[in-house]
Structure 1
Amino acid sequence: MFYIEREHIEHIRPSRKKPIFPVNDYLRHYLVKHGREVRLPAGYADLQRFVYSVPLKDKNGRNSLWETVSYDSHDWNYLRESLVRMYAILKTEGDLSFVNHLDVARVDFCSFGNSQPFRIRIVNKFNDNYDHYYVKPADASRVYGLELEHLLSPDRITFLTHSNTLIEEHIPGIPGDVFIKEHLHKQDINPIRLAKEFVKFNERCFVRLLGDMRSYNFIVNVTPDIEDVQYRIRSIDFDQQSYEGLKKLYLPQFFKENYPLVELAQKHLDKSSIAQYQTEERTLMAIRLVSSRYRVKELLDIMHDDTISKPEKISQLRTELAQYFQQPVFTRANTMGQLVKTQLKQTLRKNLLFIPKSKSRFDD
């Protein structure tokens, strides 16, 4: 699968503007039940009332995709306190005993992309240590993507919703495009371990149909190990959960931005090693699926009938998946939620057979 010549990599792009799909009553009930829906003191619409903005430069003095926004004094007094309280709700389940130590250092806005997020920088007034979180519209696609990441990936995700607002924790790491440009060719890189992790990341995205994982939509974490380092690639953008019709958009290996990592895998891994790492990742996903089977089934049952894509995209994806797997069962799916459930069954069924007591009601 990974043996692709550079000239055969297509310049694929997801849709320029994905619509925001509302959170329906069934999904809202799920979020309340599992502690994701809480009352927040401010919402996305409140942050949209900024009066002016200035471009935010990076540490090298170059313009970033972000702008720092400002508010009039009346709105700012209310927002400043609310944003600190929201941080406490996100991080400590509403324990406000330490909020006097915190302040809002900056509010940034990004008009690039679908979610047009606000990034809130919270600073500790005593030691200047800072943290970030994000405020976005509550898009059902993103909510499904965040939940599936929490349940089926190696990493846990903290996010909360309230009405039409979603807040997410900041996921720390080196942005994928920065890592490729500034770190990939350093002497201390372990190319085999990095290539292995990219194969596993590629597999995670395809199994749960998470799209648009171009290099700036994921981060790389580097962890010192006994004698070397380990790598973890993590998604940081989830609004392309099961929206696009083109199958290749769910495989990070096909994006031109990611070709240096594909090339690394092709150089240092043979086909049998790649197949081994793909099987390892599917087995781990199957174990996570079994351990959270009731919650996953509850989520997929809601997703089953929800509208999170367009009919023509659903038709294209089910046709491409049916052809790829030579399984006509995909053609019976009428929604993206049905396709995700069929995809999970198709890709993880063999791995589930080797897990003791793995028979769950997932097949119902």
Structure 2
Amino acid sequence: MHETGSFSSHGAGSAEPEYDGWAVGAAAEQQTASRSRPGSGYEGEPAAGAPAVVPSPRAEASDGALAASPPEPEADVSRETEDPPLAQEAERAVKVLNPSGEITMPRPTRRRVVCVANQKGGVGKTTTAVNIAVALALHGNRVLVIDLDPQGNASTGLNVPHHVGVPDVYDCLIDGTALADVAQQVDGIPNLSCVPATIDLAGAEIELVSVVARESRLARAIQASSTEYDYIFIDCPPSLGLLTVNALVAAQEVMIPIQCEYYALEGVQALTSNIALVKSHLNPALDITTVLLTMYDRRTRLADLVEQDVRAHFGDKVLHAVIPRNVRVSEAPSYSQSVMTYDPGSRGAISYFEAAQEIAERGARVGGLA
């Protein structure tokens, strides 16, 4: 018992002064830090009855580092003033859909007949024709889309009936029916009409072989139309047959969508050769005015190389707007809609809106031709 008491009293006597001195020093440092940082939340003394909290030297070091770093009010302010992503998407959607009609694209001084052509399939011809037509119609232009592809994809994208028995472009080519008798108004877009294509058009190439002036049948139908349009877009099949030749003879402008892949460039070379032949023999007014890069993937080096080659070859005819790979663009036709109405806030819709705006502005500057 004597040894135990002597050990306790010796331990207490030896450890007590060292502990008290350290605690007093820490408390003094805490009070100093509290005075140097007003409003930091530290209190000079603990609450009554609460155990004294002695901070460790490591905590003091880190606390001092925090005290030394200045606050960043600018970052907080910028986060508060920025619109959230949903608000930004809603703002883009309002610009694309234009429900108030305040946003208008320049109207050309004369009617523009644009042939959307590329002999290679899957490059976005129909998607481009449909979405640019919708964008122009939503912003004050009167637009007609002529579906010259037997697959009828443009008719599907605009939700226009094109089953067997529906009057279509075949009647115009073979029987000489007026465009006004086969054109249908597109639901929900007042300024947009469509001449559909049915499966009957698949045999038109064979039937046109024996028809007089077979290359200019569509051109005559357009010239005889009394309906006023600012734009007429002709969606061509992925070939260079008589249907595409009819479109090239009827148009004054050619728009070429080019997929940002190597094989797409080979198809463009054959197309430009055929356009030159049509221009020299059948339609001297024909010209390539617009080239649009589609399915652009910025993550790949190939897309950049294709873009450089296309811009080097066609120059100013290539639009600044580029259509990216976007799943919304691919989903829209399955709902019989354009991407402009299916998801107006998506990247695909904004890109086509910018392309349509650029086409309209270019045409207004040069008096009708892009």
User: Could you say which structure has the higher strand fraction?
Assistant: 1
User: Could you say which structure has the higher helix fraction?
Assistant: 2
Normalised by the length of structure 1, the TM-score is 0.28
Larger-Rg structure: 2
> RCO greater where, 1 or 2, for CA within 8 Å and sep 6 or more?
2
